[in-house]
Structure 1
Amino acid sequence: MNLERIKKLPSSEVVHYYSGNDIITSKFNKVKVKYNNYNCTVKLPSGLVENVFGLFRLSRRALRLDKCNVFTSGKFLVLIRKYKVYSYNLETNELKETLTLKNCRNILHQSLCTNKQGELFFGEYGNNGDRKPVNVYKSTDNGQSWEVIYQFKAGEIKHIHGCYYDKYEDKIWTLTGDFENENIVMKSDANFTDPERIGDGSQTYRTVSIIFQKDAVHWIMDSPIERSYHYEMDRKSYEITKKEGFPGPVWYVKELSDGYFMAASSVEIGDGVFDNYAHLFVSKDLETWTELAKFKKDILPMRYFKWGVIAFADGEQSSDSFPLFFEALNKVDGKSYTYKIND
Structure 2
Amino acid sequence: MVRLIASLGEYIYAQGDDGIYVNLFAGSTARLSGLTIRQQTRYPWDGAVRIAVDPVEPHRFSVFVRIPGWTNRQVMAGDLYRFQDAIGGRVAIRVNGRTVNPPLVRGYARIEREWKAGDLIELTLPMETRRVVADSRVKEDEGRVALERGPLVYCAEWADNGGHALNIIVPDNARLRSEFRPNLLRGVEVITGNVQAVKGGRTLPHEMVAIPYFAWANRGMGEMQVWLPRSVEKARLVPAPLPGALARVLSSGGIEKKWTGYNDQNDDLSAVYDGADPLNSADESNLYFPYASRCRAPGVGGVRFQAAAANLVV
User: Shorter-chain TM-score: what band?
Assistant: under 0.3
Higher helix share: 2
Larger radius of gyration: 2
Which protein, 1 or 2, shows the higher relative CO under an 8 Å CA cutoff with sep ≥ 6?
1
Higher strand share: 1
